[in-house]
Chains A and B, each alone.
Chain A
Amino acid sequence: MIKNISNLGDAALYCDFGNEVNKSINSQVIKYFKTIKEKKFEGINNLTPSYNKLIISYDLKKTNFKEVKNYVENINPEDSIDINSKKLEIPVCCHENFSMDIKRLEEILKLSREKILENFLNKEYFCYMTGFIAGMPFLGDLDENMRAQRLETPRVKVPKGSVALTEQFANIYSFESPGGWNILGNTPLGIFDSSKEDKPNLINPGDTVIFKEISLDQYKNYNE
Protein backbone atom coordinates (compact mmCIF):
# COMPACT_ATOMS: atom_id res chain seq x y z
CA MET A 1 0.00 0.00 0.00
CA ILE A 2 1.00 3.63 -0.35
CA LYS A 3 2.91 4.69 2.76
CA ASN A 4 3.07 8.37 2.01
CA ILE A 5 1.96 10.83 -0.65
CA SER A 6 3.85 14.06 -1.15
CA ASN A 7 4.29 16.53 -3.98
CA LEU A 8 7.05 16.39 -6.55
CA GLY A 9 7.08 20.00 -7.65
CA ASP A 10 3.68 21.57 -8.34
CA ALA A 11 2.49 19.20 -11.06
CA ALA A 12 3.09 15.67 -9.75
CA LEU A 13 2.22 13.37 -6.87
CA TYR A 14 4.99 11.28 -5.33
CA CYS A 15 3.51 8.05 -3.99
CA ASP A 16 5.93 6.19 -1.77
CA PHE A 17 5.39 2.45 -1.26
CA GLY A 18 8.51 1.95 0.90
CA ASN A 19 12.25 1.64 0.43
CA GLU A 20 12.70 -2.06 -0.22
CA VAL A 21 12.89 -3.43 -3.73
CA ASN A 22 10.94 -6.63 -4.09
CA LYS A 23 8.29 -8.21 -6.24
CA SER A 24 5.52 -7.79 -3.69
CA ILE A 25 5.96 -4.01 -3.25
CA ASN A 26 6.45 -3.55 -6.99
CA SER A 27 3.27 -5.53 -7.70
CA GLN A 28 1.39 -3.06 -5.48
CA VAL A 29 2.86 -0.16 -7.48
CA ILE A 30 1.82 -1.80 -10.75
CA LYS A 31 -1.71 -2.46 -9.44
CA TYR A 32 -2.14 1.21 -8.57
CA PHE A 33 -0.64 2.19 -11.91
CA LYS A 34 -3.03 -0.04 -13.87
CA THR A 35 -6.08 1.00 -11.85
CA ILE A 36 -5.44 4.73 -12.23
CA LYS A 37 -4.57 4.34 -15.91
CA GLU A 38 -7.85 2.51 -16.48
CA LYS A 39 -9.95 5.17 -14.73
CA LYS A 40 -8.65 8.15 -16.73
CA PHE A 41 -8.96 10.87 -14.10
CA GLU A 42 -9.34 14.28 -15.77
CA GLY A 43 -6.03 16.13 -15.66
CA ILE A 44 -3.69 13.22 -14.96
CA ASN A 45 -1.36 13.14 -17.92
CA ASN A 46 1.32 10.62 -16.97
CA LEU A 47 2.09 7.77 -14.60
CA THR A 48 5.57 6.44 -13.84
CA PRO A 49 5.70 3.24 -11.83
CA SER A 50 9.14 2.24 -10.56
CA TYR A 51 10.47 -0.31 -8.01
CA ASN A 52 8.66 1.17 -5.05
CA LYS A 53 7.33 4.58 -6.13
CA LEU A 54 4.56 5.80 -8.38
CA ILE A 55 4.77 9.30 -9.80
CA ILE A 56 1.52 10.77 -11.07
CA SER A 57 1.89 13.89 -13.22
CA TYR A 58 -1.01 16.16 -13.90
CA ASP A 59 -1.86 19.21 -15.93
CA LEU A 60 -1.89 22.16 -13.54
CA LYS A 61 -4.34 23.91 -15.85
CA LYS A 62 -6.93 21.23 -15.15
CA THR A 63 -6.37 20.02 -11.60
CA ASN A 64 -4.07 20.39 -8.61
CA PHE A 65 -2.25 18.49 -5.89
CA LYS A 66 -5.13 18.42 -3.44
CA GLU A 67 -7.62 17.03 -5.95
CA VAL A 68 -5.32 14.33 -7.29
CA LYS A 69 -4.17 13.34 -3.81
CA ASN A 70 -7.74 13.04 -2.62
CA TYR A 71 -8.56 10.94 -5.65
CA VAL A 72 -5.60 8.58 -5.19
CA GLU A 73 -6.27 8.16 -1.46
CA ASN A 74 -9.74 6.89 -2.22
CA ILE A 75 -8.74 4.35 -4.81
CA ASN A 76 -8.98 0.66 -4.15
CA PRO A 77 -6.78 -1.13 -6.61
CA GLU A 78 -8.61 -4.21 -7.68
CA ASP A 79 -6.98 -7.47 -6.74
CA SER A 80 -8.23 -9.06 -9.88
CA ILE A 81 -5.82 -7.01 -11.99
CA ASP A 82 -3.46 -9.43 -13.65
CA ILE A 83 0.13 -8.48 -12.98
CA ASN A 84 1.97 -11.41 -14.55
CA SER A 85 1.02 -10.65 -18.09
CA LYS A 86 3.58 -12.50 -20.21
CA LYS A 87 6.52 -14.85 -20.09
CA LEU A 88 9.18 -14.08 -22.70
CA GLU A 89 12.34 -15.77 -23.92
CA ILE A 90 15.04 -13.35 -24.97
CA PRO A 91 17.87 -14.69 -27.14
CA VAL A 92 21.21 -13.29 -26.09
CA CYS A 93 24.63 -13.72 -27.69
CA CYS A 94 27.50 -13.48 -25.23
CA HIS A 95 30.28 -13.77 -27.83
CA GLU A 96 33.30 -11.59 -27.06
CA ASN A 97 32.14 -9.20 -29.80
CA PHE A 98 29.33 -8.20 -27.47
CA SER A 99 30.31 -9.00 -23.87
CA MET A 100 32.28 -5.80 -23.44
CA ASP A 101 32.51 -5.98 -19.66
CA ILE A 102 33.02 -9.73 -19.14
CA LYS A 103 36.63 -9.25 -17.92
CA ARG A 104 35.51 -6.60 -15.46
CA LEU A 105 32.69 -8.84 -14.22
CA GLU A 106 35.07 -11.80 -13.83
CA GLU A 107 37.29 -9.64 -11.63
CA ILE A 108 34.55 -8.04 -9.54
CA LEU A 109 32.46 -11.16 -9.07
CA LYS A 110 35.47 -13.48 -8.81
CA LEU A 111 33.72 -15.93 -11.10
CA SER A 112 34.73 -17.45 -14.44
CA ARG A 113 32.96 -16.46 -17.65
CA GLU A 114 31.25 -19.87 -17.76
CA LYS A 115 30.00 -19.53 -14.20
CA ILE A 116 28.70 -15.98 -14.82
CA LEU A 117 26.73 -17.16 -17.86
CA GLU A 118 25.46 -20.20 -16.02
CA ASN A 119 24.21 -17.98 -13.19
CA PHE A 120 22.60 -15.49 -15.53
CA LEU A 121 20.99 -17.58 -18.28
CA ASN A 122 17.85 -19.73 -18.17
CA LYS A 123 16.45 -18.07 -15.04
CA GLU A 124 13.26 -16.14 -14.59
CA TYR A 125 13.54 -12.39 -14.08
CA PHE A 126 10.69 -10.08 -13.19
CA CYS A 127 10.21 -6.79 -15.04
CA TYR A 128 9.89 -4.10 -12.36
CA MET A 129 9.58 -1.13 -14.69
CA THR A 130 10.43 0.27 -18.10
CA GLY A 131 11.92 3.61 -18.94
CA PHE A 132 14.91 5.92 -18.77
CA ILE A 133 15.03 5.44 -22.52
CA ALA A 134 11.96 4.22 -24.40
CA GLY A 135 11.34 0.54 -23.80
CA MET A 136 14.28 -0.25 -21.53
CA PRO A 137 13.20 -2.97 -19.06
CA PHE A 138 14.58 -3.14 -15.51
CA LEU A 139 14.69 -6.86 -14.64
CA GLY A 140 15.47 -8.63 -11.40
CA ASP A 141 16.65 -10.14 -9.25
CA LEU A 142 20.10 -11.42 -10.10
CA ASP A 143 21.72 -14.00 -7.80
CA GLU A 144 23.54 -12.52 -4.81
CA ASN A 145 26.95 -13.44 -6.25
CA MET A 146 26.18 -11.65 -9.55
CA ARG A 147 25.88 -8.10 -8.26
CA ALA A 148 28.33 -5.51 -9.53
CA GLN A 149 28.34 -1.73 -9.33
CA ARG A 150 27.92 0.36 -12.46
CA LEU A 151 31.01 1.59 -14.34
CA GLU A 152 32.88 4.47 -12.69
CA THR A 153 32.71 6.36 -15.97
CA PRO A 154 29.63 5.62 -18.05
CA ARG A 155 30.04 4.88 -21.76
CA VAL A 156 28.97 7.63 -24.11
CA LYS A 157 27.46 5.04 -26.44
CA VAL A 158 26.15 1.66 -25.44
CA PRO A 159 25.20 -0.41 -28.54
CA LYS A 160 21.56 -1.12 -29.20
CA GLY A 161 20.47 -4.51 -27.89
CA SER A 162 23.10 -4.66 -25.14
CA VAL A 163 22.14 -6.84 -22.20
CA ALA A 164 23.74 -5.40 -19.09
CA LEU A 165 23.91 -5.82 -15.32
CA THR A 166 24.07 -3.56 -12.27
CA GLU A 167 23.42 -4.46 -8.65
CA GLN A 168 20.50 -6.92 -8.54
CA PHE A 169 19.20 -5.86 -11.95
CA ALA A 170 19.60 -6.62 -15.63
CA ASN A 171 18.44 -4.38 -18.47
CA ILE A 172 18.37 -4.23 -22.24
CA TYR A 173 19.36 -1.09 -24.14
CA SER A 174 16.41 -0.66 -26.49
CA PHE A 175 18.49 1.67 -28.65
CA GLU A 176 21.93 3.23 -28.63
CA SER A 177 22.31 5.45 -25.62
CA PRO A 178 24.81 6.59 -23.02
CA GLY A 179 24.96 4.19 -20.10
CA GLY A 180 27.03 2.79 -17.25
CA TRP A 181 25.84 -0.80 -16.82
CA ASN A 182 28.12 -3.86 -17.21
CA ILE A 183 27.56 -5.29 -20.67
CA LEU A 184 27.31 -9.06 -20.85
CA GLY A 185 25.83 -9.72 -24.29
CA ASN A 186 23.49 -8.53 -27.00
CA THR A 187 20.07 -9.53 -28.22
CA PRO A 188 19.06 -9.34 -31.89
CA LEU A 189 15.43 -8.94 -30.81
CA GLY A 190 13.74 -5.54 -31.22
CA ILE A 191 12.87 -4.30 -27.74
CA PHE A 192 11.16 -1.06 -28.74
CA ASP A 193 9.20 -0.39 -31.92
CA SER A 194 7.76 3.09 -32.27
CA SER A 195 5.66 2.05 -35.26
CA LYS A 196 3.49 -0.06 -32.95
CA GLU A 197 1.76 2.72 -31.11
CA ASP A 198 -0.49 0.57 -28.95
CA LYS A 199 2.33 -1.68 -27.74
CA PRO A 200 5.77 -0.35 -28.61
CA ASN A 201 7.48 -2.20 -25.74
CA LEU A 202 8.27 -5.90 -26.05
CA ILE A 203 8.63 -6.23 -22.29
CA ASN A 204 6.27 -4.55 -19.81
CA PRO A 205 6.17 -4.22 -16.04
CA GLY A 206 4.99 -7.49 -14.50
CA ASP A 207 6.33 -9.66 -17.34
CA THR A 208 8.76 -12.52 -16.76
CA VAL A 209 11.88 -12.77 -18.88
CA ILE A 210 14.26 -15.69 -19.45
CA PHE A 211 17.54 -15.18 -21.32
CA LYS A 212 18.53 -18.03 -23.69
CA GLU A 213 22.01 -18.13 -25.15
CA ILE A 214 22.51 -18.12 -28.92
CA SER A 215 25.72 -18.46 -30.94
CA LEU A 216 27.25 -15.73 -33.07
CA ASP A 217 25.96 -17.48 -36.21
CA GLN A 218 22.46 -17.68 -34.83
CA TYR A 219 22.71 -14.02 -33.88
CA LYS A 220 23.78 -13.04 -37.39
CA ASN A 221 21.00 -15.06 -39.00
CA TYR A 222 18.36 -14.04 -36.49
CA ASN A 223 16.70 -11.29 -38.43
CA GLU A 224 16.88 -12.93 -41.85
Chain B
Amino acid sequence: MSNNYLDIIRPGINTTFQDKGRDHLYHIGIPFSGAMDNRNYMIANKLVNNNLDSAVIEFAYQGPHIKYSGENINFAVTGDVIFSIKKKDTEIEGKCYESYEIENGDEINIISTNKSVYGYLALGGELDLRFQWNSCSINTKANIGSNDGKKLDVGQRINLKKINSNKDIKKTNYINTKIENIRVIKGTNFKYFSEEGKKIFYEKEFTVSKLSDRMGMRLEGAKIDNIVNTNIKSEGLIKGVIQVPADGNLIIMLSDHGTIGGYPKIGVVASVDYDRLVQMSPGSKIKFKEINLTDAETLFKLYEMETQNLLSQI
Protein backbone atom coordinates (compact mmCIF):
# COMPACT_ATOMS: atom_id res chain seq x y z
CA MET B 1 0.00 0.00 0.00
CA SER B 2 1.13 3.46 -0.83
CA ASN B 3 1.38 6.05 1.89
CA ASN B 4 0.85 8.89 -0.53
CA TYR B 5 -2.55 9.20 -2.12
CA LEU B 6 -5.40 11.38 -3.30
CA ASP B 7 -9.02 10.99 -2.25
CA ILE B 8 -11.63 12.27 -4.68
CA ILE B 9 -14.20 14.29 -2.73
CA ARG B 10 -15.89 15.49 -5.93
CA PRO B 11 -14.82 14.13 -9.31
CA GLY B 12 -16.00 16.97 -11.56
CA ILE B 13 -17.84 16.58 -14.83
CA ASN B 14 -15.40 14.75 -17.06
CA THR B 15 -12.19 14.10 -15.20
CA THR B 16 -9.73 11.55 -16.59
CA PHE B 17 -6.08 10.58 -16.49
CA GLN B 18 -4.29 11.53 -19.67
CA ASP B 19 -0.79 11.41 -21.07
CA LYS B 20 0.61 11.64 -24.60
CA GLY B 21 -1.87 9.04 -25.85
CA ARG B 22 -1.39 5.82 -27.82
CA ASP B 23 -0.42 5.44 -31.46
CA HIS B 24 -0.30 2.68 -34.11
CA LEU B 25 -3.81 1.48 -33.22
CA TYR B 26 -6.15 3.22 -35.69
CA HIS B 27 -6.34 0.04 -37.76
CA ILE B 28 -7.99 -1.85 -34.94
CA GLY B 29 -10.32 1.01 -34.08
CA ILE B 30 -8.50 2.77 -31.25
CA PRO B 31 -7.86 6.54 -31.48
CA PHE B 32 -4.91 8.48 -30.04
CA SER B 33 -6.74 9.89 -27.00
CA GLY B 34 -4.20 11.69 -24.80
CA ALA B 35 -4.38 15.20 -23.37
CA MET B 36 -6.62 17.39 -25.53
CA ASP B 37 -4.53 20.55 -25.15
CA ASN B 38 -1.04 19.19 -25.57
CA ARG B 39 0.79 22.41 -24.76
CA ASN B 40 -0.93 22.95 -21.43
CA TYR B 41 -0.42 19.29 -20.61
CA MET B 42 3.34 19.52 -21.06
CA ILE B 43 3.63 22.81 -19.18
CA ALA B 44 1.81 21.25 -16.22
CA ASN B 45 4.35 18.43 -16.07
CA LYS B 46 7.30 20.78 -16.41
CA LEU B 47 6.07 22.94 -13.52
CA VAL B 48 6.24 20.00 -11.12
CA ASN B 49 9.57 18.60 -12.39
CA ASN B 50 7.97 15.59 -14.09
CA ASN B 51 8.89 14.05 -17.42
CA LEU B 52 6.90 15.83 -20.11
CA ASP B 53 4.98 12.66 -20.96
CA SER B 54 3.85 11.84 -17.41
CA ALA B 55 0.22 11.19 -16.56
CA VAL B 56 -1.87 14.14 -15.37
CA ILE B 57 -5.46 14.70 -14.35
CA GLU B 58 -7.45 16.35 -17.14
CA PHE B 59 -10.76 17.97 -16.31
CA ALA B 60 -13.43 19.75 -18.34
CA TYR B 61 -15.52 22.69 -17.03
CA GLN B 62 -15.90 21.73 -13.36
CA GLY B 63 -12.80 20.00 -12.02
CA PRO B 64 -12.20 17.67 -9.08
CA HIS B 65 -12.03 18.43 -5.37
CA ILE B 66 -9.18 16.38 -3.96
CA LYS B 67 -7.78 15.66 -0.51
CA TYR B 68 -4.12 14.76 -0.33
CA SER B 69 -2.53 12.43 2.22
CA GLY B 70 1.15 11.69 2.55
CA GLU B 71 4.53 13.38 2.50
CA ASN B 72 4.89 16.81 0.91
CA ILE B 73 4.40 17.02 -2.85
CA ASN B 74 4.23 19.72 -5.52
CA PHE B 75 1.30 20.29 -7.79
CA ALA B 76 0.42 22.73 -10.57
CA VAL B 77 -2.67 23.62 -12.57
CA THR B 78 -2.60 24.83 -16.18
CA GLY B 79 -5.27 26.21 -18.47
CA ASP B 80 -7.59 29.05 -17.60
CA VAL B 81 -8.80 27.65 -14.29
CA ILE B 82 -10.29 28.89 -11.05
CA PHE B 83 -9.18 26.81 -8.07
CA SER B 84 -8.37 27.03 -4.38
CA ILE B 85 -5.98 25.35 -1.97
CA LYS B 86 -7.26 24.52 1.48
CA LYS B 87 -4.70 24.19 4.25
CA LYS B 88 -5.48 23.57 7.93
CA ASP B 89 -7.08 26.90 8.76
CA THR B 90 -6.82 28.87 5.55
CA GLU B 91 -8.07 28.67 2.03
CA ILE B 92 -6.14 30.52 -0.64
CA GLU B 93 -6.95 31.22 -4.24
CA GLY B 94 -4.68 29.26 -6.58
CA LYS B 95 -2.89 30.65 -9.58
CA CYS B 96 -2.38 28.70 -12.78
CA TYR B 97 1.16 28.22 -14.08
CA GLU B 98 2.67 28.16 -10.60
CA SER B 99 3.62 25.13 -8.58
CA TYR B 100 2.65 24.78 -4.93
CA GLU B 101 3.88 22.45 -2.22
CA ILE B 102 1.11 20.75 -0.28
CA GLU B 103 1.21 18.57 2.79
CA ASN B 104 -0.76 15.83 4.46
CA GLY B 105 -4.45 16.80 4.72
CA ASP B 106 -4.39 19.69 2.25
CA GLU B 107 -7.15 19.96 -0.31
CA ILE B 108 -7.20 21.17 -3.92
CA ASN B 109 -10.57 22.37 -5.14
CA ILE B 110 -10.80 22.97 -8.87
CA ILE B 111 -13.91 25.04 -9.23
CA SER B 112 -14.10 25.55 -12.98
CA THR B 113 -12.39 26.40 -16.22
CA ASN B 114 -12.94 29.98 -17.28
CA LYS B 115 -14.32 30.57 -20.82
CA SER B 116 -12.45 27.46 -21.89
CA VAL B 117 -12.93 23.71 -21.65
CA TYR B 118 -9.90 21.75 -20.43
CA GLY B 119 -7.50 22.20 -17.56
CA TYR B 120 -4.67 20.07 -16.20
CA LEU B 121 -3.61 19.11 -12.71
CA ALA B 122 -0.12 17.65 -12.46
CA LEU B 123 1.40 16.19 -9.31
CA GLY B 124 5.15 16.05 -8.80
CA GLY B 125 5.53 12.29 -8.87
CA GLU B 126 4.18 9.21 -10.51
CA LEU B 127 0.53 8.20 -10.23
CA ASP B 128 -0.03 4.47 -9.83
CA LEU B 129 -1.98 3.75 -13.01
CA ARG B 130 -2.54 0.88 -15.38
CA PHE B 131 -1.06 1.33 -18.83
CA GLN B 132 -2.65 -0.09 -21.94
CA TRP B 133 -0.69 0.12 -25.14
CA ASN B 134 1.96 2.28 -23.45
CA SER B 135 -0.51 4.88 -22.29
CA CYS B 136 -2.68 5.46 -19.24
CA SER B 137 -5.03 7.75 -21.20
CA ILE B 138 -8.64 6.98 -20.46
CA ASN B 139 -10.94 6.43 -23.42
CA THR B 140 -14.38 6.29 -21.79
CA LYS B 141 -16.15 5.16 -24.97
CA ALA B 142 -14.07 1.99 -25.38
CA ASN B 143 -13.21 1.66 -21.66
CA ILE B 144 -9.53 1.61 -22.43
CA GLY B 145 -6.71 2.85 -20.23
CA SER B 146 -6.27 3.42 -16.52
CA ASN B 147 -9.15 3.42 -14.04
CA ASP B 148 -10.84 0.67 -16.15
CA GLY B 149 -11.32 3.23 -18.88
CA LYS B 150 -13.83 5.15 -16.80
CA LYS B 151 -13.83 8.75 -15.65
CA LEU B 152 -12.90 9.49 -12.06
CA ASP B 153 -15.59 8.89 -9.48
CA VAL B 154 -16.47 10.19 -6.03
CA GLY B 155 -14.81 8.41 -3.13
CA GLN B 156 -12.02 7.01 -5.24
CA ARG B 157 -8.47 6.77 -3.95
CA ILE B 158 -5.51 7.29 -6.28
CA ASN B 159 -2.11 6.14 -5.11
CA LEU B 160 1.22 7.68 -5.95
CA LYS B 161 4.03 5.30 -6.75
CA LYS B 162 6.73 7.86 -6.32
CA ILE B 163 7.22 11.47 -5.25
CA ASN B 164 9.78 13.68 -6.99
CA SER B 165 12.72 14.55 -4.78
CA ASN B 166 13.12 17.79 -6.72
CA LYS B 167 10.56 20.07 -5.07
CA ASP B 168 11.72 23.34 -6.62
CA ILE B 169 8.84 25.75 -6.99
CA LYS B 170 8.37 26.89 -10.58
CA LYS B 171 6.40 29.56 -12.30
CA THR B 172 5.76 30.85 -15.79
CA ASN B 173 3.79 33.73 -17.24
CA TYR B 174 1.94 31.89 -19.96
CA ILE B 175 -1.32 33.35 -21.18
CA ASN B 176 -3.78 31.26 -23.19
CA THR B 177 -4.49 33.27 -26.30
CA LYS B 178 -7.90 32.99 -27.87
CA ILE B 179 -8.32 32.89 -31.61
CA GLU B 180 -11.38 33.59 -33.70
CA ASN B 181 -10.11 32.08 -36.91
CA ILE B 182 -9.40 28.39 -37.02
CA ARG B 183 -7.14 27.64 -39.92
CA VAL B 184 -8.15 24.71 -42.11
CA ILE B 185 -6.83 22.78 -45.06
CA LYS B 186 -9.27 21.75 -47.79
CA GLY B 187 -10.75 18.30 -47.19
CA THR B 188 -10.66 15.37 -49.58
CA ASN B 189 -14.38 15.77 -50.42
CA PHE B 190 -14.38 19.56 -50.76
CA LYS B 191 -15.86 19.22 -54.27
CA TYR B 192 -18.96 17.52 -52.86
CA PHE B 193 -20.35 20.85 -51.68
CA SER B 194 -22.27 23.53 -53.55
CA GLU B 195 -20.58 26.85 -54.36
CA GLU B 196 -22.87 28.45 -51.82
CA GLY B 197 -21.90 25.79 -49.27
CA LYS B 198 -18.17 26.40 -49.76
CA LYS B 199 -18.74 30.14 -49.36
CA ILE B 200 -20.68 29.57 -46.14
CA PHE B 201 -17.86 27.39 -44.81
CA TYR B 202 -15.25 30.11 -45.15
CA GLU B 203 -17.35 33.21 -44.58
CA LYS B 204 -19.97 32.49 -41.93
CA GLU B 205 -19.56 32.16 -38.22
CA PHE B 206 -20.38 28.86 -36.52
CA THR B 207 -21.24 28.29 -32.89
CA VAL B 208 -19.78 25.49 -30.78
CA SER B 209 -22.68 23.29 -29.65
CA LYS B 210 -23.23 21.79 -26.21
CA LEU B 211 -23.03 18.36 -27.85
CA SER B 212 -19.25 18.41 -27.83
CA ASP B 213 -16.92 16.11 -25.94
CA ARG B 214 -13.52 14.43 -26.28
CA MET B 215 -14.80 12.55 -29.35
CA GLY B 216 -16.04 15.44 -31.37
CA MET B 217 -17.17 19.03 -31.54
CA ARG B 218 -20.49 19.78 -33.17
CA LEU B 219 -21.08 23.19 -34.68
CA GLU B 220 -24.31 25.04 -35.27
CA GLY B 221 -24.94 27.63 -37.95
CA ALA B 222 -25.77 27.86 -41.63
CA LYS B 223 -26.17 24.47 -43.26
CA ILE B 224 -23.77 23.33 -45.93
CA ASP B 225 -25.37 21.87 -49.01
CA ASN B 226 -23.99 18.67 -50.51
CA ILE B 227 -24.48 18.27 -54.28
CA VAL B 228 -22.75 14.94 -54.85
CA ASN B 229 -23.47 12.38 -52.13
CA THR B 230 -24.09 12.72 -48.40
CA ASN B 231 -22.29 9.42 -47.79
CA ILE B 232 -18.91 8.16 -48.88
CA LYS B 233 -17.56 4.61 -48.60
CA SER B 234 -16.34 4.46 -45.01
CA GLU B 235 -12.67 5.37 -44.64
CA GLY B 236 -10.16 6.43 -42.01
CA LEU B 237 -10.43 9.59 -39.94
CA ILE B 238 -7.87 11.66 -38.10
CA LYS B 239 -8.30 14.29 -35.43
CA GLY B 240 -9.25 17.66 -36.83
CA VAL B 241 -11.27 16.29 -39.75
CA ILE B 242 -14.45 18.30 -40.34
CA GLN B 243 -17.26 16.04 -41.52
CA VAL B 244 -20.60 17.11 -42.94
CA PRO B 245 -23.43 14.60 -42.42
CA ALA B 246 -26.67 14.74 -44.42
CA ASP B 247 -28.17 17.43 -42.17
CA GLY B 248 -25.49 19.92 -43.31
CA ASN B 249 -24.08 20.63 -39.83
CA LEU B 250 -20.35 20.42 -39.19
CA ILE B 251 -18.71 17.90 -36.83
CA ILE B 252 -15.00 18.15 -35.99
CA MET B 253 -13.23 14.95 -34.95
CA LEU B 254 -11.36 15.31 -31.66
CA SER B 255 -8.87 13.08 -29.82
CA ASP B 256 -11.25 10.17 -28.93
CA HIS B 257 -12.89 10.09 -32.39
CA GLY B 258 -14.25 7.00 -34.16
CA THR B 259 -11.46 5.76 -36.42
CA ILE B 260 -13.66 5.22 -39.49
CA GLY B 261 -16.43 7.39 -40.88
CA GLY B 262 -18.69 7.65 -43.89
CA TYR B 263 -19.48 11.36 -44.09
CA PRO B 264 -17.80 13.68 -46.60
CA LYS B 265 -14.84 15.70 -45.31
CA ILE B 266 -14.98 19.40 -46.12
CA GLY B 267 -11.79 20.38 -44.31
CA VAL B 268 -9.17 19.48 -41.72
CA VAL B 269 -8.10 21.77 -38.88
CA ALA B 270 -4.42 22.69 -39.18
CA SER B 271 -2.33 21.08 -36.42
CA VAL B 272 -1.16 24.52 -35.26
CA ASP B 273 -4.68 25.40 -34.11
CA TYR B 274 -5.73 22.12 -32.50
CA ASP B 275 -4.81 23.03 -28.89
CA ARG B 276 -6.79 26.24 -29.14
CA LEU B 277 -9.72 24.66 -30.98
CA VAL B 278 -10.39 22.15 -28.20
CA GLN B 279 -10.52 24.97 -25.66
CA MET B 280 -13.50 26.64 -27.38
CA SER B 281 -16.45 26.18 -25.06
CA PRO B 282 -20.11 25.81 -26.11
CA GLY B 283 -21.43 29.11 -27.41
CA SER B 284 -18.03 30.25 -28.75
CA LYS B 285 -17.96 31.54 -32.31
CA ILE B 286 -15.69 29.93 -34.88
CA LYS B 287 -14.73 31.17 -38.32
CA PHE B 288 -12.65 29.05 -40.65
CA LYS B 289 -9.79 30.42 -42.69
CA GLU B 290 -8.22 28.44 -45.51
CA ILE B 291 -4.47 27.86 -45.60
CA ASN B 292 -2.38 25.63 -47.83
CA LEU B 293 -0.27 22.67 -46.75
CA THR B 294 3.08 24.50 -46.85
CA ASP B 295 1.81 27.33 -44.65
CA ALA B 296 0.25 24.82 -42.26
CA GLU B 297 3.58 23.01 -41.93
CA THR B 298 5.50 26.25 -41.34
CA LEU B 299 2.99 27.54 -38.80
CA PHE B 300 3.13 24.27 -36.89
CA LYS B 301 6.92 24.43 -36.80
CA LEU B 302 6.74 27.92 -35.32
CA TYR B 303 4.11 26.84 -32.80
CA GLU B 304 6.27 23.88 -31.80
CA MET B 305 9.34 26.13 -31.39
CA GLU B 306 7.29 28.45 -29.22
CA THR B 307 6.17 25.48 -27.09
CA GLN B 308 9.76 24.27 -26.66
CA ASN B 309 10.82 27.78 -25.80
CA LEU B 310 8.10 28.09 -23.16
CA LEU B 311 9.10 24.76 -21.66
CA SER B 312 12.79 25.59 -21.60
CA GLN B 313 12.10 28.73 -19.60
CA ILE B 314 10.40 26.81 -16.81
Q: Is the CB of B268 within 8 A of A47?
A: no
Q: Is the CB of A45 within 8 A of B236?
A: no
Report if A47-B27 is in contact (Cβ < 8 Å); known contacts: A7-B293, A132-B234. yes
Query: Interface segment, A51-59, A72-80, A82-90, A210-218?
Result: A51-59
A 173-224 contacts with B by CB, 8 A: 174-175, 177, 192, 194, 197, 200-201, 204-205
Question: A16 to chain B: closest CB distance in Å?
Answer: 8
Q: Is the CB of B233 within 8 A of A50?
A: yes
**At the interface, yes or no: B125 with Cβ under 8 Å from chain A?**
no
B 262-314 contacts with A by CB, 8 A: 265, 268-271, 293, 296-297, 300, 304
- 1/0 contact trace for A34-67 toward B, CB 8 Å? 0001000000011111111111010011001100
- 1/0 contact trace for B10-43 toward A, CB 8 Å? 0000000000000111111110100000000000
Mark B residues whose CB is within 8 Å of A.
Answer: 23-30, 32, 132-133, 141-144, 149, 185, 187-188, 233-238, 240-241, 258-261, 265, 268-271, 293, 296-297, 300, 304
Q: Is the CB of B260 within 8 A of A48?
A: yes
A 1-26 contacts with B by CB, 8 A: 6-12, 14, 19, 21
* Candidates A8, A64, A135, A138; contact of B28 at CB < 8 Å: A135
In whole angstroms, what is the CA distance A46 to B34 when docked?
15
Residues of A within 8 A of B26 (CB): 46-48, 55, 57, 131
Chain A interface residue count, CB cutoff 8 Å, equals 47
Question: B180 to chain A: closest CB distance in Å?
Answer: 20
Residues of B within 8 A of A205 (CB): 27
Q: Is the CB of B143 within 8 A of A194?
A: yes
Q: Is the CB of B297 within 8 A of A65?
A: yes
A 114-158 contacts with B by CB, 8 A: 129-136, 138
* Candidates B24, B25, B269, B304; contact of A9 at CB < 8 Å: B269
In whole angstroms, what is the CA distance A31 to B235 when docked?
17
Residues of B within 8 A of A54 (CB): 236
The chain B residue with its CB closest to the CB of A21 is B233
Residues of A within 8 A of B270 (CB): 9-10
Q: How many A-B residue pairs have CB under 8 A?
A: 139
Report if A60-B297 is in contact (Cβ < 8 Å); known contacts: A12-B238, A48-B260, A175-B142. yes
The chain A residue with its CB closest to the CB of B185 is A9
* Candidates A14, A131, A197; contact of B260 at CB < 8 Å: A131
| 23 CB-based A-B contacts, threshold 8 Å | A6-B188, A7-B293, A9-B271, A10-B293, A21-B233, A46-B27, A48-B26, A50-B235, A50-B260, A52-B233, A60-B300, A129-B260, A131-B26, A131-B27, A131-B236, A131-B258, A132-B260, A134-B28, A175-B142, A175-B143, A177-B141, A194-B132, A205-B27
In whole angstroms, what is the CA distance A47 to B133 when docked?
16
Question: B15 to chain A: closest CB distance in Å?
Answer: 21
Residues of A within 8 A of B260 (CB): 48, 50, 129, 131-132, 138
In whole angstroms, what is the CA distance A85 to B98 when docked?
54
Q: Is the CB of B185 within 8 A of A194?
A: no
Residues of A within 8 A of B233 (CB): 19, 21, 50-53
Residues of B within 8 A of A194 (CB): 132, 142-144, 149
Q: Is the CB of A53 within 8 A of B141?
A: no
Residues of B within 8 A of A10 (CB): 185, 268, 270-271, 293, 296-297, 300
Q: Is the CB of A53 within 8 A of B132?
A: no
Residues of B within 8 A of A55 (CB): 26, 235-238
The chain B residue with its CB closest to the CB of A51 is B233
